[in-house]
């Protein structure tokens, strides 16, 4: 079985995340959306809310599984027998950051990282931008998957 892990905090999920996951579906038998636990991070949404958002967005997709994990992503991949990590790249800064992590992951574990360039129409969207729009009472609906209510 070809299984990929798409890790992140998804605080909240954006159109960019959704695009990468849906474009990855034809390549894998299963994509595991893995919500990372990081005690150092201050989240806007609880873990339960983030899981709920993801389940709502991907409820029609039987090849997608949603779960949480803590620790190294590669250890989680080994635990669930995933040979690939799926990541999205919005800009050159993302590439440089993700490249270093991908090289380290492959060196330490043999797990390959596949990069998808975000669609031009979503390349400017980040979870931090969405959170800022929400904090300031703005209309975030064009930044997140359809019918997703975050308030």
What are the catalytic residues? 17, 41, 90, 127
Location of structure tokens 């873990």: 47
In the DSSP assignment, the letter for residue 145 is: -
Beta strands in the chain (DSSP E): 3-8, 30-36, 64-69, 84-89, 112-117
| Residue whose entry in the numeric block shows the structure tokens 């201050």 | 42
């Amino acid at each position: 079985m070809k299984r990929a892990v798409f890790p992140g905090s998804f605080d909240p999920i954006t159109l960019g995340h959704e695009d990468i996951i849906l474009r990855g579906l034809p390549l894998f038998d299963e994509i595991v959306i893995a919500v990372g636990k990081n005690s150092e991070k201050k989240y806007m949404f609880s873990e339960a809310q983030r899981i709920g958002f993801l389940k709502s967005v991907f409820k029609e997709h039987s090849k997608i599984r949603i779960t949480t994990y803590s620790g190294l992503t590669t250890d989680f991949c080994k635990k669930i027998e995933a040979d690939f990590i799926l990541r999205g790249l919005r800009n050159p800064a993302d590439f440089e950051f993700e490249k270093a992590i991908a090289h380290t992951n492959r060196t330490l574990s043999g797990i390959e990282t596949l990069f998808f360039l975000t669609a031009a129409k979503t390349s400017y969207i980040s979870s931090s931008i969405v959170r800022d729009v929400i904090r300031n009472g703005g209309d975030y609906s064009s930044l997140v998957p359809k019918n997703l209510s975050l308030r």
